[in-house]
Amino acid sequence: MPYFTTTDGAEIFYTDQGTGQPIVLSHGWPLSSDAWQVEIKRFYDAGYRVIAHDRRGHGRSSKVATGHDMTTYAKNLAELIEHLDLHDVVVIGHSTGGGEVVRYAAQFGKGRVAKVVTAGAVPPIMLKSESNPEGTPIEDLDGIRTNVLKDRSQFWLDLAVPFYGGNRPGVDVSEGLKEDFWRQGMLVNLIAAYDCVKAFSETDQADDLKAIDVPIFIAQGDDDQIVPIAAAAKKSIELVKHGTLKVYPGASHGIWGAYQDELDQDILAFIAK
């Protein structure tokens, strides 16, 4: 299995499939690159080179106790892209990964990034405040931290339900999908899982969005129960220079089912423009 070592000594697992224009995928919390398996195949079949990594502390990467902030995540992504000497790159991020690719494109990816895609992404900032009343209250975020410490195994099972919209009438989320969320969650270092909550919720990325000078496709479901769309996609589109927003009716935070099918088609169409 391929790994590379960052300048601060973390070993990052990644998968690299295919040839052609590179697409680099950044996963959400508390998952791993396994969350992108369907996209890896679809984009590979479409003729692209597809790379996906496990963020530090997640999946098969080093269970390091430090560096769980958006800037370090983006620096690690930059080091991976430089390690593979990728150019004309399309970076795609879901949830926390959306914050990672936005910061990467804004601060580290000049001259390498061709396009950016985010889905259910956390920018510009998730935390509720006087200036961001649509955001997530700090009490809810503290509740996540409490549950991660108290019984993370049960919490991943519980979280998978709203993550994929399984608490909505008529939505049938398979046990396999929920258990795969649990499986990936259980691979996260506890320190990484805990500290990443602050990274994904309290990092102000308004300036990152303003700095992106390449086309960006911003996608989000209007029934996202994890990242409030009014604080995320609908604000992000107002800050970027060359943005396209698509809201998916009834879609959850998790990428699966009909939402996944439509989103993947839209991403391929956006890349091909």
* Rounded CA separation 181/249 (Å): 23
Annotated catalytic residue within 32, 33, 95, 252 = 95
Tell me whether residue 95 is one of the annotated catalytic residues. Answer: yes
pLDDT for 193-247, tens place per residue? Answer: 999 999 999 999 999 999 999 999 999 999 999 999 999 999 999 999 999 999 9
Query: How many independent structural domains does the chain possess?
Result: 1
Sign of CA dihedral 204, 208, 120, 4: negative
Tell me whether residue 58 is one of the annotated catalytic residues. Answer: no
pTM: 0.98
Domain that holds residue 175: 3-272
* Beta strand 113-119 pairing with 89-94: parallel
Q: What is the pLDDT of residue 3?
A: 96
Tell me the residue ranges of DSSP E strands in the chain. 3-5, 11-17, 22-26, 49-53, 89-94, 113-119, 216-221, 243-248
Annotated catalytic residue within 27, 58, 94, 253 = 253
Per DSSP, what are the bridge partners of residue 119? Answer: 94, 219
Annotated catalytic residue within 53, 58, 224, 252 = 224
Angle between helices 70-83 and 190-202 (to 10 degrees): 100
Helix (H, G, I), strand (E, B) or coil at 43: helix
Q: What is the pLDDT of residue 1?
A: 60
Residue ranges, the chain, pLDDT below 70: 1
List the CATH number of the domain containing 206.
3.40.50.1820
Tell me whether residue 253 is one of the annotated catalytic residues. Answer: yes
